[in-house]
Amino acid sequence: MSKRVIFIEHDHVSEGGPIWLQFQRRGFKITRFVIVNEENARTPNVSPVWPDLMSFDVVVVMGAPFAAYDDEGIGNWLLPEIEKLREVHNAGIPILGICFGGQVMSRVLGGTVSRSPRAELGWYEIDSNDKDLIPNGPWFQYHWDRFTIPPGATEIASNDLCPQAFVYGRTLGLQFHPEIDLHVLDLWLAMEGGCAEVESEGVVIDDLREQTRALEPESNQRGYDLVDQFLDRIATAPVTMI
């Protein structure tokens, strides 16, 4: 019987790239749960019908163009998501949180999320305390916000701007995007205002695409390895409740 992983996709452009592929290679059946569809991209206060997250073997919480501290703007689904993920974590179901998903998991576990002094857009090296779990990169960054390490969690990686990864029991929270490939990047840039938003930070779109194309083979492999490390080490760790 196949194991089951659900990807919580907060928007319509959060495809999983190499992360999807490696979960499938590891025998998982993927379920996609999209919260905000393209029609509501600018009005994210929707009312999703949540699946039973407790019925899955792994939960992956993906990125988003929203702020993980914007309870009022996001509205109906953010605080319920936090409560549901707290139940999932305490039940010992492994959780992988990516960017917005990592920020949400910081909140779930008692940390905080806030606006960052500057954006990180593009490929960055990070400083890892556990290079088997998370090598130094380069990893792809696409964020304007940052999280704190939850009390009791272990910081795995950071840079001069913010924490980049933490572990708490069977939860791994990331600030960077291991799921990026050229296709996923183009989905993000194709969103309304996507290119203008990136260019406003001084990033040259053609250069970003070219660098992503050049790094894609090794970046994909880092994504595959990260899934393996997550499943073999984090997902089998002792359950740590909050």
Which among 15, 81, 120, 179 is annotated as catalytic? 179
Is 93 a residue whose pLDDT tops 90? yes
pLDDT of 193: 78
Question: Residue 197 pLDDT > 90, yes or no?
Answer: no
pLDDT of 104 over the 80 cut: yes
**195 is annotated as an active-site residue:** no
Decide if 143 is catalytic: no
Res 74: pLDDT: 92
Residue 39, pLDDT score: 94
The answer to whether residue 89 is catalytic is no
Q: pLDDT of 47-74, one tens digit each?
A: 999 999 999 999 999 999 999 999 998 9
Of the residues 15, 120, 177, 197, only one is catalytic, namely: 177
Structural domains of the chain in order of their starting residue, each with its CATH number: 3-234 (3.40.50.880)
The C-alpha atoms of residue 105 and residue 112 are separated, in whole angstroms, by 9
- Using CA atoms, how far residue 54 sits from 3, 79, 92, in Å, is 13, 17, 10
| Average per-residue pLDDT for the chain | 96
Amino acid present at 83: E
The pLDDT score that the predictor gives to residue 75 is 85
The number of CA neighbours under 13 Å toward the Cβ of 119 is 14
What would the pLDDT profile of 138-155 be if each residue is shown by its tens digit?
A: 999 999 999 999 999 999
Angstrom distance (rounded) from CA 9 to CA 4: 16
* Predicted local distance difference test score (pLDDT) of residue 192: 72
Average pLDDT over residues 152-171: 98
- pLDDT of amino acid 162: 98
What's the mean pLDDT in 169-197? Answer: 93
CB half-sphere exposure, 110, CA atoms < 13 A: 8
Kindly name the residue from 81, 99, 120, 143 that is annotated as catalytic.
99
Please report, rounded to a whole number, the percentage of residues in the chain having pLDDT higher than 70. Answer: 100
Are 82 and 59 contacting, i.e. CB atoms less than 8 angstroms apart?
A: no
Is residue 219 scored above 80 in pLDDT? yes
Q: For 155-191, give one letter per residue: b (16+ CB within 10 A) or e.
A: bbbbbebbbbbbbbbbbbbbbbbbbbbbebbebbbee
> What pLDDT is recorded for position 71?
95
DSSP code of residue 231? I
